[in-house]
Amino acid sequence: MKLVLLTKPEFFSGEAEIINSLFRHGLPTLHLRKPQATAEEKDALVALIEPRFRDRIVMHNHDLHSCHTLEEVSRNKLKSDYVFLSPIFDSISKQGYHAAFTEETLRQAHHAGIIDKKVIALGGITPSNARKALSLGFGGVAVLGDIWQSENPVARLGEYLI
C-alpha cells in the first residue's frame, strides 16, 4: 500500500521536527503542500528535514493531479505516476466536506479499470477505512487531518503501518 501524508496548508511551530520524526518512524512519502507559501518558504522547511529523508518529499504542484470525478481520473492518470481521488470518505480536516462517491460506484469504477494502483484515495482517511479503500481497488491512501489533528502524529502514523 502506498501511504502519502500531505502537510497542513499552513506552516506551524515544530513542523520540521515532527516531519523528521514521522520519517524516522516509517513515513514513506510526504507531499509538501503549502498553497500560499513562496518557493523560498518551502525550501526553508525542506532544509530542516534530515538529508536522508529529502528524497521522500514530493513538492505538491500542478503536475500532481487531485481529481474529484472519475472522468478526471481517467483523463489524468495516464500522464501521472499517480493521482488523488477525493473525497472518498467524509473529510476530517474540512468540516461539511462529505464523501462524493458511494461504495458501489467505487467498486464499479475499479471493475471498469478506472480505479487501480495509480489512484490514491484522499479524504477522511483513517487507519480503519484505509483498509476499506484498498479493498475498493485503490493503490494507496493519502492522509492529512487524521494525523495532523491527532495528539501524537507519530503514534497515529504507526496505526497505518501495521
Nearest in space to 142 (alpha carbons), one of 65, 75, 69: 65
Maximum Cα interatomic distance, the chain, rounded to a whole number of Å: 45
**pLDDT for 59:** 85
Bridge partners (DSSP) listed for residue 69: none
pLDDT in tens, the chain (162 residues): 799 999 999 999 999 999 999 999 999 999 999 989 999 999 999 999 999 999 999 987 655 678 999 999 999 998 888 899 999 998 887 777 789 999 999 999 999 999 999 999 999 999 999 999 999 999 999 999 999 999 999 999 999 997
- CATH of residue 103: 3.20.20.70
Q: Which helix (H) or strand (E) element contains residue 143?
A: strand 140-143
Q: How many alpha carbons fall within 13 Å on the CB side of residue 21?
A: 13
Contact by Cβ (8 Å): 146, 156:
yes
Quote the number of domains for the chain: 1
**pLDDT for 64:** 65
| CA 92/CA 112 separation, integer angstroms | 29
Long-range contacts of 142-148 (CB under 8 A, 24+ apart): 142/4, 142/5, 142/6, 142/31, 142/84, 142/86, 143/3, 143/4, 143/5, 143/6, 144/5, 144/6, 144/8, 144/92, 144/93, 145/91, 145/92, 145/93, 145/94, 146/92, 147/5, 147/22, 148/8, 148/93
Contact by Cβ (8 Å): 135, 97:
no
The distance in angstroms from the start CA to the end CA of the chain is 11
Give the residue numbers spanning the domain of 77: 2-160
